[in-house]
A and B are shown apart, each in its own frame.
Chain A
Amino acid sequence: MTPFAYERATDASSAVARVAAHPNAVFLGGGTNLVDHMKLGIAHPQLLVDVTRLPFSKIESLPDGGIRVGAGVRNSDLAADRTVRERYPVLSQALLGGASGQLRNLATTAGNLLQRTRCAYFQDVTVPCNKRTPGSGCSAIDGHNRDHAILGASDQCVAVHPSDMAVALAALDATVVVLGRQGERRISAVDFHRLPGDAAQRDSMLEHGELIVAVELPALPVAAHSVYYKVRDRASYAFALVSVAAALEVRSGRVHDVRIAFGGVAHKPWRARRAEAALRGAPATEEVYGRAADAELADAKVLKHNAFKIPLARNTLRMVLRQLAQGGR
């Protein structure tokens, strides 16, 4: 591990100023991904600014009926929050589907968003990876790519985003609140992460020195009837092969409102707007669910080992919609 200086932030603005002024400085949250990357030789910060003791550990109600989740709220506390469980069950389930009890007690809301891909080639410093070393090439495209992207990938990178929580946030129309040197700005959760394009090293729209201070969820009635379904190789403690975050309201046999996002299929949580458009106003039937899935997956491109993800994504979405329409969540 490269030597680094450690500072404990006492207020957010000076933490931002400190990191922004130092090109090799990073914020330290729960550390469960960053410290691992420092051990693996993927990250080499020279200054760590610890933001875990800043006052960002509250979940508050907003005047418009939504909630504001502090960036430092631990994943376990967010999952267990009564309001989240009742009004945004998809978020609780996504959080509980990620990592382990011990890690969820450490990992923060902001850190969960900023965790990096578990692509085995990204995590192995002995092989080329455009995300880790821009311009070095992608080892996954012609390598073992069973876990990799089927949507939105580029010839530079086929990695998928690992977060479950972020998939739920994308479905819930959440907003990420970010503090920079110029003050706060707000980024929709759907746009927060980016596709690899020709800059695979950039996971998100966050600029160096910007600090996530909160995530806001809108009052979203349909979210009370939502679910996160995660398909993985083990029953627990594994990353998603494919996951679906969905909220559905059916009135008189027709889809009144719907939100869908996929995990495990792209470089970012994949908000399924085409599927939503195909569903909205349509009869809540198996045939429509299948058409909606097909609309979303029409542009999917498979690699050598991940063709199974197309039928898996299709079938998972259909099953989730069927369960939601039948009243289960």
Chain B
Amino acid sequence: MKASITLRVDGEQRSLTLDTRTTLLDALREHLGVTAAKKGCDHGQCGACTVLLDGRRVTTCLSLAVACDGTSVTTAEGLAPGGTLHPLQQAFLEQDALQCGYCTPGQICSALGMLDEAQAGHPSFVTEGLAAPAELSDEEIRERMSGNLCRCGAYVNIVAAIRQAIAERATP
């Protein structure tokens, strides 16, 4: 069965007609040619398909595209309009936070969403007393990023890249 939807993808309005079974991830990759979101497990377990949906980080493999009609999607590609890298993307390069790079777009979108959550005062499972964390320790970063797997094991440098981005945010 078919459905027609409109999505705003990386700042551009896109209309498409697709099978209701199509996930948001497949709509992006197969219908719109936006391949920044990666298909890893396709079961919500690896985080490679993470984007910002109306500003919040989500996996896209378990969302039906038809249910996302009218939403705004930002992929890692949309963070670098005109090729100018987002500070977090630059930090991933400078900290060597990847090997094969397949999980990287998801890591970066997840990290951005995570930083906004922390800024809004959201606690994590490791936050003492459920208070708003004053600063993100490595333990906090690791807990908050646990939904993004990296089979190359670049975690140490991913944490370093996120720390760099936090430091740059604090000192503009």
Complexed CA–CA distance, A28 and B145 (Å): 27
Across the interface, do B44 and A105 meet the contact criterion of CB distance under 8 Å? no
Across the interface, do B122 and A79 meet the contact criterion of CB distance under 8 Å? yes
Q: CB < 8 Å: which of B66, B120, B147 contacts A100? A: B147
B41 to chain A, nearest CB (A): 10
Contacting residues, chain B, for A93 (C-beta < 8 A): 125, 130
Complexed CA–CA distance, A113 and B1 (Å): 29
Instruction: Specify which of A48, A79, A101 lies most central, judged by the most chain B CB atoms within 10 Å of its CB.
Output: A101
Contacting residues, chain A, for B42 (C-beta < 8 A): 39
Complexed CA–CA distance, A319 and B110 (Å): 34
Contacting residues, chain A, for B144 (C-beta < 8 A): 101
A329 within 8 A of B: yes
Chain A contacts with B in 26-46, Cβ cutoff 8 A: 28, 31-32, 35-36, 38-40
Complexed CA–CA distance, A121 and B114 (Å): 34
* B19 closest partner in A (C-beta): A3
* A238 closest partner in B (C-beta): B146
Q: CB < 8 Å: which of A6, A28, A52 contacts B1? A: A6
Across the interface, do A103 and B67 meet the contact criterion of CB distance under 8 Å? no
B59 within 8 A of A: yes
Across the interface, do A31 and B64 meet the contact criterion of CB distance under 8 Å? yes
The verdict on A106 contacting B58 (CB below 8 Å), with A6-B1, A6-B20, A35-B64 known, is yes
Complexed CA–CA distance, A80 and B144 (Å): 14
Complexed CA–CA distance, A28 and B23 (Å): 14
Across the interface, do B58 and A102 meet the contact criterion of CB distance under 8 Å? yes
B164 within 8 A of A: no
B39 within 8 A of A: no
Is the interface on chain B under 10, 10 to 19, 20 to 34, or 35 or more residues? Answer: 35 or more
Across the interface, do A103 and B147 meet the contact criterion of CB distance under 8 Å? yes
A264 to chain B, nearest CB (A): 16
Is the interface on chain A under 10, 10 to 19, 20 to 34, or 35 or more residues? Answer: 35 or more
B122-134 interface code vs A (CB 8 A; 1 in, 0 out): 1111000110000
Contacting residues, chain A, for B53 (C-beta < 8 A): 105
B16 to chain A, nearest CB (A): 15
Complexed CA–CA distance, A39 and B123 (Å): 33
A24 within 8 A of B: no
Contacting residues, chain B, for A28 (C-beta < 8 A): 64, 67
Contacting residues, chain A, for B57 (C-beta < 8 A): 101-102, 105
Contacting residues, chain A, for B44 (C-beta < 8 A): 32, 36, 102-103
Across the interface, do A50 and B67 meet the contact criterion of CB distance under 8 Å? yes
Complexed CA–CA distance, A237 and B53 (Å): 21
Across the interface, do A3 and B21 meet the contact criterion of CB distance under 8 Å? yes
Across the interface, do B110 and A52 meet the contact criterion of CB distance under 8 Å? no
19 residue pairs A–B, Cβ–Cβ below 8 Å: A1-B21, A6-B64, A6-B67, A32-B59, A76-B56, A80-B120, A80-B121, A85-B130, A89-B130, A96-B124, A96-B125, A101-B114, A101-B146, A102-B44, A106-B58, A235-B146, A236-B125, A236-B143, A237-B146
Give B residues with C-beta under 8 Å from A.
1, 3, 19-21, 23, 42-44, 47, 50, 53, 56-59, 62-64, 66-67, 110, 113-114, 117, 120-125, 129-130, 142-148
The 9 closest A-B pairs by CB, nearest first: A100-B147, A236-B146, A237-B146, A96-B125, A80-B122, A85-B130, A6-B20, A35-B62, A1-B21
